[in-house]
Copies of this chain bind each other. A is one copy, B any other.
């Protein structure tokens, strides 16, 4: 029986592509928000959920970080990296020279700025709430229009791909995490994600925490902070490190963290992604 996989919809988004890449046999359920993906897994209406956590150009996906910080049931079971290729889509009859307007989400427009300036210096640029909404608006446009959107949206909306991979930076990748009720067993090539915070506001504390890892030669692959939402200037720190939470050295370091933090939460251990 195929598993049920919740993702951040609608169909045609990069999250859907990530879900298909992760498990081509899964039954995919599109959700309207990152928190409803989590809810679906917690309620048992999906076996697992997939959400974006970080992009190589834009940085962290804050809704996912805040979900992991607040969440007490879900664990990270896997990670997955997807190359993000923006495509120029248009109705079947449209020639590329005739395009007068380009629709997309502000983030995609920003990632394709040089391409647009070079090939469509006079086009009207219209921001939409998502890349999929851009395809819908493009189809209703009164002037000859194109949309910047994932290739997958062309299949779903039955429009043409005029150009592929039009983003300015070639290294445009998004990291997704697969959420479930348990994390992954030890494989020997693992990562662990966690967060912590302090009651006191002393920078020496963060330094001391990082020492727990540095002194044991535990490599940190990510260090990030999010606001606590209590007041400006108070942060929750998020760390990714190499190793599994059951490894002896990591257990030692986590014991050290527990003594020095007011709050420590391990989001899970999972195999490192191999492209």
Name A residues whose Cβ lies closer than 8 Å to a Cβ of B.
54-59, 62, 81, 106, 127, 129, 169, 171, 173, 175, 202-204, 206-208, 210-211, 213-214, 217-227, 229-233, 235, 237, 241
State the copy count for this chain: 2
Where chain A touches its partner, the secondary structure class is mixed
A218 to B241, CA, bound (A): 27
Q: Could you say which residues of chain B place their CB within 8 Å of the CB of A231?
A: 56, 171, 173
Q: Does A227 contact B58, Cβ atoms closer than 8 Å?
A: yes
Q: Does A57 contact B206, Cβ atoms closer than 8 Å?
A: no
A167 to B82, CA, bound (A): 36
Q: Can you give 25 contacting A-B residue pairs, CB < 8 Å?
A: A54-B227, A54-B232, A56-B229, A58-B62, A58-B227, A59-B225, A127-B129, A129-B129, A169-B229, A171-B230, A171-B231, A171-B232, A173-B231, A173-B232, A202-B219, A203-B219, A203-B220, A203-B221, A203-B241, A206-B210, A208-B214, A221-B233, A222-B235, A223-B225, A223-B235
Q: Could you say which residues of chain B place their CB within 8 Å of the CB of A203?
A: 210, 213-214, 218-221, 223, 241
Contact of A222 among B81, B233, B241 (CB under 8 A): B233
Q: Does B57 contact A227, Cβ atoms closer than 8 Å?
A: yes
A125 to B165, CA, bound (A): 34
Q: Could you say which residues of chain B place their CB within 8 Å of the CB of A229?
A: 56-57, 169, 171
